Amino acid sequence: VQLQASGGGLVQDGGSLRLSCAASGSRFSIQNMGWYRQAPGKQRELVAGITFRGTTTYEDSVKGRFTISRDDAKNTGYLQMNSLKPEDTAVYYCNIHHRWLPILSGAFDYWGRGTLVTVSS
């Protein structure tokens, strides 16, 4: 499995970005997917997750601002981030698993390249 997150960049407080996660080497349609972030000096945390059926979950601080989605035909997942805040600054990663618990725990041996999101105040 190869994962490639993209779409990060520098944005002002209140701005928006859309991240993409391209997956290859796996049947994406039967995988659950999670978006994670790691800020400097902090542990990586789950930001949002989506099951293969489309059920979603969000970390409390991003509820109402971030939306996770997927396009199985393109083997790609997305994270639409609106009303960005400086505290959202982090490297964002995606990962997939056929079971839901690893998505929630973030206990993966493999992480693809993340994408840096910087929100200026």
pLDDT tens, 91-105? 999 999 999 999 999
pLDDT tens, 57-103? 999 999 999 999 999 999 999 999 999 999 999 999 999 999 999 99
**CB burial class (10 A; 0-12, 13-18, 19+) of residue 39?**
middle
State the pairing for strand pair 9-12/115-120: parallel
Q: Which segments of 13-56 does DSSP mark as H helices, in order?
A: none
